[in-house]
Chains A and B, each alone.
Chain A
Amino acid sequence: MGFSVPLSRIVPYALVGAGAGYLYYVAANIEYHARAGTLGPDFWPKAILALTIAVCLYEVVKIALLGTRAQDTAGVLEEMAEEGIEQHADAQAAEPPAENHPLLLVAGMLATLAYVWIVQRLGFFLATVAYLAVFMWLGGYRRGRVIAAVSLIGTLVLLLIFMKLVYVSLPIGVPPFAEVTLFLMNVMGIR
């Protein structure tokens, strides 16, 4: 046991278990007027959280005791799919080993979060054109003119569909940026 325990396998369960423990505490403090002989609104979440903690605890103990020998019980489909894939390995698509780009992922997530923040200020049109361009560039696409055209035309099409056909009131932004969206809405006949 000891140092041979794969920490990376324990951490997710420990974190989920700890989170469930905190939420159990929150659930235990839900305020309500109790009725005699009736389960309260805290019963259901507390039961779920207790089960979550139990499952996480089981996994942590199992990995701690068995170390690298600790195996997962897979779902029936997963096992069947694996068996099938093993049997027909020759016909399988020869996928090249895909390299991970964690920085790219973080940048993509941050760009998406930034978009949600900025769309309320810049308005849908400006924020979306910028976001689409940034996303495509992050994704490794480098043809500037295509990026510009696809971002611009695509955003105008989305604006038209959602504001004119689906009647969704998209964010127009704050002045002076709102003027851009309002101008486009006028041009497209969106009221």
Chain B
Amino acid sequence: MESVLYNLGIGFVHVFQPVNFLVLVLGIILGLLVAVLPGLTLVMGVVLALPFTYNMHVIPAIVLLTAMYISGTYAGAWTSILFRVPGEPIDVPLLWDGYTMARKGEAAYALGWTLLSAFVGGIVAAVVMVALAQPIAKIALTFSTPEYFAILFFGLASVVSLGGSSLTNALVSLFAGLLIASVGVDDTYGAHRFTFGVPILSDGIDYLVVMVGAYGLGEVFQRLEKQFRSVPFESVSEIRTRLPQLKEVFARKGTFARGSALGIVVGLVPGAGATVASFLSYGMESQYGARARQMGSGVPEGIIAPQTAATASVGGAIIPLVTMGIPGSGATAIILGAFLLHGLQPGPQVFQTSSHIVYSMFASVFVGIVVMCVIGYFATRFMVKVLALPEVIVSAYVVMCCLLGAFAARNNITDVWLMVLFGIVGYLFERFRFPITPLVLGVILGPLAESSFMTTMISHANDWTVFFTRPISGPIMLVAILTLLYPVLRRMYHETKHRAGRHTQRQE
């Protein structure tokens, strides 16, 4: 524990260096703006910031992206509560009680609860993140390739079973991502796979190109098709934040605890980020909370539950990234990209070789949350003014950042062509209800999954049962399969229940 605190102290020293601190403040402001601006999502914002980190040192680069990730989970609440415009899906549950409170004339109070929830959720998760990271990294050091494959399989299974309107579409999307990841020269045999004689494809398709295209350009194309028709927002005369009293906070400590715990757990699960945390936490509070029946009528619990969980998910999502090198969400995947760009592979070894970088990241979470809350308290009324910016102008620059980001990755125009292609693919995926997250995580985790699978096969004479017979990988594989089957079983259960209900009604 002492070494953890010592390393964290070093992390704080790095974060408080003038340049790093300035970068952190900039990241927080950018994240807040991204969350407020229509047409820009948290992941898109972090993607667009990545090219600007190419020439930075590793610590400011990681600090910038982490800061954006933290504040991106918070500021969308302002527009949800004040204007009934959720900045992104994370903020939809905040409409139900937050906006209702604003309609009752309690907007400042609702913003106060949001700020406090983001603070509590973020800090609790950050403490848990610091406490768990090193023990998990130590366990991960004992893992062999079957365990890694099992964890990756679980991650991919949870991505498929959680999101999307169709399980089969999510599977197709995931397979497309895994296939894109297999393009290029194979590591073991040096064989060319799907290169079609194009030299740059021999190096494979950079997942950043896929991410920038599918998340950034694809989203802009969707909004262009609607001619950037945004939801009109009502004007609010006075925007300020009023913090609740201490006794009111203590009366709701259970909601804070549930939201924070759920956010951390959800953040740990690959594929389930802030949005899942926010919805799940609201749902749990509606069922088990002390004021469950009043949820939706404008009670603070309806703000605390989703906001605490959304911000807490950040700390949870960072744990698998730094301890095993497995990004659980779009934003952490980009942070992984920043690590890789600077020649660092996150994983258990990074705690031994570059612990100052990991702990600087941890420290930036603590400092970032405090800075975010300070800015959030004083600057909400100025920040929401960016809503007045014409969306088409913002989108034009989003496209430019996408094009420049793709070009800057390898200084190659082929990457830009590929990015535009993936932008069109991203648009088509959304159009035909194929979720994008499995595609992107497939591209990112594909090479890791393939290498762990192939190495296991070589080491165990092509015996695939090894994944199920080892003490750690076996249970993980089982949980992964159950996760994959869960939506199907859940639907079958509901259908059977529904049919039984109708049968009983007919008999009566």
Give chain A's interface residues, CB within 8 Å of chain B.
12-13, 16, 20, 23, 26-27, 30-33, 37-45, 48-49, 51-52, 55-56, 58-59, 72-81, 83-85, 87-88, 91-96, 98-102, 104-105, 108-109, 112-113, 115-116, 119-120, 128, 131-132, 135-136, 138-141, 146, 150, 154, 158, 161-162, 165-171
Asked if B292 is at the interface (CB within 8 A of a chain A CB), the reply is no
Contact status A59-B168, CB under 8 Å: yes
Asked if B201 is at the interface (CB within 8 A of a chain A CB), the reply is no
Contact status A80-B283, CB under 8 Å: yes
Asked if B1 is at the interface (CB within 8 A of a chain A CB), the reply is no
Which secondary structure characterizes the binding site on chain B? helix
Asked if B5 is at the interface (CB within 8 A of a chain A CB), the reply is no
How distant is A71 from chain B, measured CB to nearest CB, in Å? 8
How far does the alpha carbon of A51 sit from the alpha carbon of B438 in the complex, in Å?
Answer: 15
Contact status B491-A73, CB under 8 Å: yes
Given A77-B162, A78-B163, A166-B55, is A44 in contact with B453 using a C-beta cutoff of 8 Å?
yes
List, in ascending order, chain B residues with CB within 8 A of A72's CB.
165-169
Contact status B169-A105, CB under 8 Å: no
Contact status A55-B172, CB under 8 Å: yes
Contact status A141-B390, CB under 8 Å: yes
19 A-B pairs with CB atoms under 8 Å apart are A39-B462, A48-B179, A52-B172, A52-B175, A73-B167, A73-B491, A76-B162, A76-B486, A78-B163, A81-B89, A85-B92, A93-B85, A93-B86, A95-B231, A96-B231, A136-B396, A139-B392, A140-B227, A166-B55
List, in ascending order, chain A residues with CB within 8 A of B227's CB.
99, 101, 104, 139-140
- The closest CB in chain B to the CB of A147 belongs to B393
How far does the alpha carbon of A36 sit from the alpha carbon of B231 in the complex, in Å?
Answer: 62
Contact status B454-A55, CB under 8 Å: no
- The closest CB in chain B to the CB of A141 belongs to B392
Which secondary structure characterizes the binding site on chain A? helix
Per CB-CB distance, the 3 closest pairs between chain A and chain B, nearest first, are: A139-B392, A72-B166, A41-B186
How far does the alpha carbon of A189 sit from the alpha carbon of B18 in the complex, in Å?
Answer: 27
Asked if B500 is at the interface (CB within 8 A of a chain A CB), the reply is no
- The closest CB in chain A to the CB of B408 belongs to A168
How far does the alpha carbon of A48 sit from the alpha carbon of B182 in the complex, in Å?
Answer: 10
Asked if B122 is at the interface (CB within 8 A of a chain A CB), the reply is no
List, in ascending order, chain B residues with CB within 8 A of A170's CB.
404, 407
Contact status B52-A161, CB under 8 Å: yes
Contact status A44-B454, CB under 8 Å: yes
How far does the alpha carbon of A140 sit from the alpha carbon of B399 in the complex, in Å?
Answer: 16
Contact status B400-A158, CB under 8 Å: yes
* Interface pick from B127-135, B187-195, B318-326, B353-361: B187-195
List, in ascending order, chain B residues with CB within 8 A of A128's CB.
400
Contact status B279-A81, CB under 8 Å: yes
Tell me which residues from 273 to 306 in chain B have a Cβ below 8 Å from any Cβ of chain A: 275-276, 279-280, 282-283, 296
How far does the alpha carbon of A79 sit from the alpha carbon of B96 in the complex, in Å?
Answer: 17
How far does the alpha carbon of A56 sit from the alpha carbon of B166 in the complex, in Å?
Answer: 12
How distant is A64 from chain B, measured CB to nearest CB, in Å? 14
Contact status A81-B400, CB under 8 Å: no
Asked if B243 is at the interface (CB within 8 A of a chain A CB), the reply is no
- The closest CB in chain B to the CB of A116 belongs to B416
List, in ascending order, chain B residues with CB within 8 A of A80's CB.
279-280, 283
Contact status A76-B490, CB under 8 Å: yes
How distant is A127 from chain B, measured CB to nearest CB, in Å? 10
Tell me which residues from 459 to 490 in chain B have a Cβ below 8 Å from any Cβ of chain A: 461-462, 486-488, 490
Residue in contact with A75 in the complex, picked from B51, B92, B160, CB distance below 8 Å: B160
How distant is B422 from chain A, measured CB to nearest CB, in Å? 12
List, in ascending order, chain A residues with CB within 8 A of B171's CB.
51, 55
B189, B396, B408, most chain A CB atoms within 10 A: B396
- The closest CB in chain B to the CB of A132 belongs to B396
- The closest CB in chain B to the CB of A107 belongs to B224
Asked if B251 is at the interface (CB within 8 A of a chain A CB), the reply is no
How far does the alpha carbon of A189 sit from the alpha carbon of B417 in the complex, in Å?
Answer: 30
List, in ascending order, chain A residues with CB within 8 A of B85's CB.
93
How distant is A17 from chain B, measured CB to nearest CB, in Å? 9
Residue in contact with B279 in the complex, picked from A77, A105, A158, CB distance below 8 Å: A77
List, in ascending order, chain A residues with CB within 8 A of B106's CB.
none
B169, B224, B390, B432, most chain A CB atoms within 10 A: B224
Tell me which residues from 146 to 177 in chain B have a Cβ below 8 Å from any Cβ of chain A: 160-172, 175-176
